[in-house]
Amino acid sequence: MSTGKRIAEALGFPQKNIKTDQGLYHANAEELLSIVQKLPDTCERIVLIGHNPGLTDFANDLTRDQAVITNVPTCGVVAYEFDVNSWQQVDFGKGRFLFFDYPKKPD
C-alpha cells in the first residue's frame, strides 16, 4: 500500500481514490487478468501494483510482440495499451507494449 500511495502522490492522484484488492497479493497471471477484467469501464487507465512472480508473468502474457521481461523489479513499471471498449475484453496477447522502466535500469 505504501508503494501505491507514493505512486499516487507522484501522479497527483488522490490517495482516497486508491482501490485495494487482497486478490492482488501474490496473484498469478490468470488471477491478475481476472481482476482487470472485472474493473468498471468508468476507469480509463489503471495502475496495477502487485508482487512477483505473478506480476512479471502477467506483464509478459499481455503481449506477444515484446521480448520477454525476466523480472519486473521493485518499483518497476510496464505500460501497455489495449484497443478495447471494455476491461472485460482485455486478454493475453492483446496488449500493445509501450515501455518498461525501473529505478536501477542501466542507461
Per-residue model confidence as pLDDT tens digits over 32-45: 999 999 999 999 99
Report pLDDT for 81: 94
Residue 59 CB burial class (10 angstroms; 0-12, 13-18, ≥19): buried
Domains of the chain: 2-101 (3.40.50.1240)
pLDDT of 66: 64
Any idea which residue has 468498471 for its cell?
40
**78 bridge partner residues:** 100
Which residue spans within 2-95 are E strands per DSSP?
77-81
Residue-wise pLDDT tens digits, 53-100: 999 999 999 987 766 899 999 889 999 999 999 999 999 999 999 999
Residue-level pLDDT at 25: 85
Collapse the DSSP code of 18 into the 3-class scheme (helix H, G, I; strand E, B; otherwise coil) and give the result: coil
